[in-house]
Amino acid sequence: MFRMRTFFSAFVLVMIFFSTAAGAGLPVVSTSDLQNILTAEKGRVVVLNFWASWCGPCKQEIPELVRMRTGYPEDRVTIIGVSMDHDPQMMNEYLARQKVNYPMYLGTREVGIDYAVAGIPKLIVFDQAGEIAFTFEGLIRPAMLERIVDNLLDE
């Protein structure tokens, strides 16, 4: 009886998490999903941005990434956002006010662990071969990120 209740409780919690995430309007991405997305982007420089709607520095960084997205050809640079939000309503309200011009996903706890997201914002920049070229936790200066991307494009 106890096992049945424990199983049912765990099932309900999982269903609440996935229904909340699905209701968020962003596709939920697991580690394997994100790896597949990154693999599909080989040949391009990829800027992977982990963020959350409650994070002040993230709110400063996203408009810069939007601006940056328009400054590079889509066939050479990809920007991907992964929200680590636990409150889909807050995330939706923030995204409704933004004009984000790059793909956004809702990351699972597994993604945060596997990509070592200890603080946000966190950027991981991949070179054209799909290898990690640069990581940064905290608010990065736009000029620094652009230099990194430009250097990778020049290689």
DSSP state of 127: -
Which CATH number among 2.10.109.10, 3.40.30.10, 3.30.70.1170, 3.30.70.990 corresponds to the domain 2-154?
Answer: 3.40.30.10
Alpha-carbon separation of residue 24 from 16, 108, 111, 153 (angstroms) = 12, 13, 17, 34
Q: How many Å apart are CA 127 and CA 4, to the nearest integer?
A: 49
Mind listing the pLDDT tens digit of every residue in the chain (155 residues)?
444 444 433 333 333 334 334 445 789 999 999 999 999 999 999 999 999 999 999 999 999 999 999 999 999 999 999 999 988 888 888 998 988 999 999 999 999 999 999 999 999 999 999 999 999 999 999 999 999 999 999 98
- Please count the residues of the chain: 155
Q: How many Å apart are CA 125 and CA 149, to the nearest integer?
A: 8
Q: Residues with catalytic annotation?
A: 55, 58
Instruction: For the chain, give every domain's residue range.
Output: 2-154
